[in-house]
Chains A and B, each alone.
Chain A
């Protein structure tokens, strides 16, 4: 059995890549070195661990590189095919051939299941990473002017997102030394009581730090909801649009925007 497996390393490569050869050899030698025909069946056994580790590594790399599940699975299946082919060549007696083939088949099938499971885990990691990235991108902080920050928020605001916005905003205020932050929620379709409370807390925290926070772009529907919910926004500076909020900020900072005159000479 062992000798047959040792032969394997050379034949298996139906694909011509250097890397692939390396991977295959690694897998095969791990298989050969770690197993006797006794614990072939017991995949939970300790001897299988190095093999499973290598297989897992291959699967995760494939997942990250964007290989399809089918392609990654084929890697293991090709080993199975090769092994079965060898068995066929080397075992004459059909009954033994069948027994050995079944054993090998079972083992390889289990290995391919492991391959798929690891592959899926690899993909999930990609998804999680992307989710984080989306969360970061969707709350940009823009320095519109020296000392003025603008945060246009797009999409639904839930409690956890609002908290992230609050933390980002305060951090940016410290880092840029800005004295005014404009939170524009014209891209937010609806606000519930909890989110409104968080927004009020954001404004309070900003004031506590020595800066000011203006909320702009409140949609009429949100204004209605806020009043119906009995939320008190009288202590918060609200402006209809980012533009008017900016104009207000300029006034507070005693900045003036003037149209230049073009001299005719």
Chain B
């Protein structure tokens, strides 16, 4: 049985999707991820889809689920590395991807997570920054 590896990077978890997700694999991923978030007290989840060339509504639902589950466990989710063709197709498809933040790559994604988590944990005097956007 295939499993998608989940890497730990400090406070965050990194999932790199490189194969076509099918039902069993996707459900396993959701379950494994939630378990790991709980076990490691992770505050953020990065989903790297730079190797994914097709995102259909099924995949979109999985990503949305992961974001919702993580949020319940007090972790934010950032999707990174979306290919241009995928972005264009998703807009046309009308996929909402609610509650999912996005960033260009893992590095930016980590910066985004840090800024999001930083403003909830610490009472910082800094102005709120809106560099990277929330996908609606």
A253 at interface, CB cutoff 8 A: yes
Write 15 A-B pairs (CB below 8 A) sorted by A numbering: A170-B87, A171-B84, A174-B84, A177-B105, A205-B90, A207-B102, A207-B136, A208-B87, A209-B82, A209-B102, A210-B80, A210-B102, A212-B132, A252-B130, A252-B131
Query: Quick one: CB contact mask for B71-110 with A, threshold 8 Å, 1 for yes?
Result: 0000000011011100110111000010001111100110
Taken together as a complex, chains A and B put the C-alpha atoms of A207 and B100 apart, in Å, by 11
Cβ distance B114 to chain A, nearest Cβ, rounded Å: 15
Interface residues of A (CB under 8 A from B): 166-167, 170-171, 173-174, 177, 179, 201, 204-212, 235, 252-254
Cα distance, A211 to B135, chains bound together (Å): 10
Cα A212 to Cα B102 in complex, Å, equals 11
Would you call B133 an interface residue if the criterion is a C-beta within 8 Å of the partner chain's C-beta atoms?
A: yes
* A interface majority secondary structure: helix
Partner of B92 from the list A177, A179, A201, A254 (CB cut-off 8 Å) is A201
Once bound together, how far apart are the Cα atoms of A201 and B102, in whole Å? 16
The 9 A-B residue pairs with the shortest CB-CB distance in the complex, in nearest-first order: A170-B84, A210-B103, A210-B102, A205-B87, A207-B133, A208-B87, A210-B104, A209-B82, A204-B91
Contact B130 A173 (CB under 8 A): no
Contacts of A173 in B (CB 8 A): 84, 104
Cβ B104 vs Cβ A177 within 8 A: yes
Taking a contact as CB atoms under 8 Å apart, the answer to whether B108 and A179 are in contact is yes
| Interface: B129 (CB within 8 A) | yes
Q: Pick from A205, A212, A252 the residue with the most CB of B within 10 Å.
A: A205
